[in-house]
C-alpha cells in the first residue's frame, strides 16, 4: 500500500485547449477545465462508472489497483513528513505542500495502491481560500505579534487528500447499573441566635438496579483521513464534506492540481473507523440506560455488512513554520469550512493574567475594604 503525501501535481493526462493548444486546468470557480492563456473553458470529461461501495473483506485482496490517473506520472516523497505525491511527467515537486519542506526526493510510483474511484471536485477557489486564511489569522487572540506578518507570505495550495469511507451495520448489546434518585429527610443541628436548633432537610439518595439492552444502527460514509502529511486530529475536525455529492473519478478534475497517495491502508483505516463507530455506539447506549444516572456501562459491538470507498477530497493547505514548528491551516475545498492551528504567545497570556490580577486587586482595594 502507498505511503504518504507530498506534492502531487497530478496532470494525469494532458488536456489541450482547442483554440490555442495551451494546457488546460480544472478551475474551481467554474467547475470546468479552463485555459489560463486564452480563457477558453470546457466541461470535464465524465468519469466512467458509478460511485461504488466495495465489500471490505474482498477489498483487502481484490480491490482495483493503481492510481488510475492515466498518462505518464512520477512520484515524490517528502523526507520530513513522509508525504507521498504523484505528479505529471515534466513537473518537479520542489516543496512539500503539507509541511513546506524542500526535502523531497523522486521515487517510483506505487502501482499496488488501491485506485480512487470517486472524488469531490474543488468548488472553493484560491482567492477565497487565501481570504479565509487572512480572516482566520485576524481573529486569533494571544498569538505572537509577528505571526500575521509572517503568515502573509504563505500561500495556500490545493491538494486532493485521500480518505476512506466506511459503512457498517452495528449490533450493540449493553449492560449497566441504572441509578434512580429518591429523597429522604434527615435531621441536622445548626446555630441560630446563639442557640442550637434541630432542623430537617431533604437528602438525595440513589437506588441502583441492573439494566441491559440491545440496539442496531447503520453507519454511512464514516470518513477516515488516509494522509500522513495531514495530522489526523486536524483532518478529523472537518465536519462538512458532503459525500452524497461524490462523482466518479476523472483525470480532468486533477488537471493542474496535486493529489496525495494514501499512507493509511484499507485495514488500518477501518481500525480508526471502528473506533469512531464504537465511541458513537457507547454514547447511544448510554442514552438508552433508564433512570436518573448510570455507572459501569459496558457495550459489546458486532460489525457486519462492512463496505468502503477510496475517495479524494479537496483541501486547501497553508503550512507555515514558527520557531521551527510546523503549523497548518486548512480550508474545505468543497464547502469553505476552516480549521487550523497556530502558536501561542505565552508573554501575551502572562501579561493578560497579570492585568486581571492587578484589576482584581484594585477593585478589592477600592470597594472590598469598606465592607
C-alpha torsion 272→275→277→279, nearest 10: -140
Helical segments of the chain, H only:
56-62, 126-138, 147-151, 232-235, 266-288, 346-363
What is the pLDDT at residue 120? 95
133 and 318 in contact (C-beta within 8 Å)? yes
Rounded distance between C-alpha atoms, residue 171 and residue 82, angstroms: 38
Question: Helix, strand, or coil here: 345?
Answer: coil
pLDDT (tens place) for every residue of the chain, 371 residues total: 333 333 333 334 568 888 888 889 999 999 999 998 898 999 998 766 788 899 999 988 876 665 444 444 566 777 777 777 666 554 445 577 777 776 665 555 565 567 788 999 999 999 998 888 878 777 767 666 666 665 555 678 888 999 999 999 999 999 999 999 999 999 989 988 888 999 999 999 999 999 999 999 999 999 999 988 888 888 888 888 999 999 998 888 888 888 888 889 999 999 999 999 999 999 999 999 999 999 999 999 999 999 999 999 999 988 777 777 788 888 999 999 988 877 666 667 677 778 888 887 787 777 765 55
Q: Which pLDDT tens digit goes with each residue over 113-128?
A: 677 889 999 999 999 9
Q: Calculate the CA dihedral of residues 79, 92, 258, 100 and round it to 10 degrees.
A: 40
Q: What are the pLDDT digits (tens) for 138-177?
A: 776 766 666 666 555 567 888 899 999 999 999 999 999 9
At residue 103, the pLDDT reads: 61
| Distance separating alpha carbons of residues 108 and 155, to the nearest angstrom | 28
Helices (H) and strands (E) in the chain, counts: 6, 16
Shortest CA distance to 311 belongs to which of 120, 168, 109, 48?
A: 120
10-26: burial string, b at 16+ Cβ within 10 Å, e else:
bbbbebebeeeeebbbb
pTM of the model: 0.79
pLDDT of residue 257: 86
Amino acid at each position: 500500500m502507498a505511503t504518504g503525501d507530498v506534492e502531487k501535481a497530478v496532470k494525469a493526462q494532458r488536456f489541450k485547449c482547442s483554440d490555442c493548444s495551451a494546457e488546460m486546468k480544472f478551475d474551481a470557480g467554474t467547475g470546468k477545465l479552463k485555459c489560463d492563456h486564452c480563457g477558453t473553458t470546457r466541461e470535464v470529461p465524465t468519469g466512467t462508472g458509478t460511485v461504488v461501495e466495495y465489500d471490505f473483506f474482498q477489498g483487502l485482496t481484490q480491490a482495483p489497483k493503481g492510481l488510475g490517473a492515466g498518462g505518464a506520472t512520477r512520484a515524490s516523497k517528502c523526507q520530513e513528513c513522509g508525504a507521498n505525491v504523484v505528479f505529471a511527467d515534466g513537473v518537479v515537486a520542489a516543496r512539500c505542500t503539507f509541511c513546506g519542506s524542500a526535502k523531497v526526493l523522486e521515487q517510483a510510483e506505487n502501482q499496488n495502491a488501491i485506485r480512487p474511484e470517486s472524488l469531490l471536485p474543488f468548488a472553493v477557489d484560491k482567492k477565497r481560500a487565501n481570504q479565509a486564511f487572512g480572516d482566520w489569522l485576524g481573529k486569533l487572540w494571544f498569538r505572537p505579534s509577528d505571526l500575521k506578518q509572517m503568515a502573509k507570505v504563505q500561500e495556500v495550495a490545493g491538494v486532493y487528500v485521500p480518505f476512506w469511507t466506511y459503512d457498517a451495520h452495528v449490533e450493540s448489546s449493553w449492560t449497566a447499573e441504572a441509578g434512580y434518585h429518591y429523597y429522604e429527610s434527615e435531621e441536622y443541628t445548626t446555630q441560630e441566635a446563639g442557640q442550637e436548633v434541630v432542623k430537617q432537610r431533604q437528602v438525595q439518595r440513589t437506588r441502583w438496579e441492573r439494566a441491559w439492552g440491545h440496539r442496531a444502527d447503520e453507519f454511512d460514509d464514516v470518513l477516515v483521513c488516509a494522509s500522513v502529511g495531514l495530522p489526523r486530529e486536524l483532518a478529523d475536525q472537518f465536519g462538512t464534506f458532503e459525500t452524497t455529492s461524490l462523482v466518479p473519478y476523472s483525470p480532468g478534475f486533477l488537471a493542474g492540481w496535486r493529489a496525495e497517495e494514501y499512507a493509511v491502508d484499507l485495514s488500518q483505516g477501518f481500525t480508526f473507523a471502528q473506533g469512531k463507530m464504537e465511541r458513537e455506539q457507547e454514547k447511544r447506549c448510554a442514552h438508552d440506560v433508564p433512570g436518573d444516572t448510570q455507572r459501569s456501562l459496558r457495550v459489546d459491538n458486532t460489525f457486519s455488512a462492512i463496505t468502503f470507498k477510496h475517495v479524494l477530497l479537496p483541501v486547501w493547505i497553508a503550512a507555515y513554520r514558527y520557531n521551527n514548528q510546523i503549523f497548518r491551516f486548512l480550508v474545505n475545498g468543497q464547502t469553505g469550512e476552516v480549521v487550523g492551528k497556530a502558536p501561542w504567545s505565552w508573554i501575551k497570556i502572562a501579561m493578560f493574567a497579570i492585568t486581571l490580577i492587578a484589576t482584581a486587586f484594585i477593585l478589592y482595594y477600592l470597594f472590598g475594604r469598606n465592607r
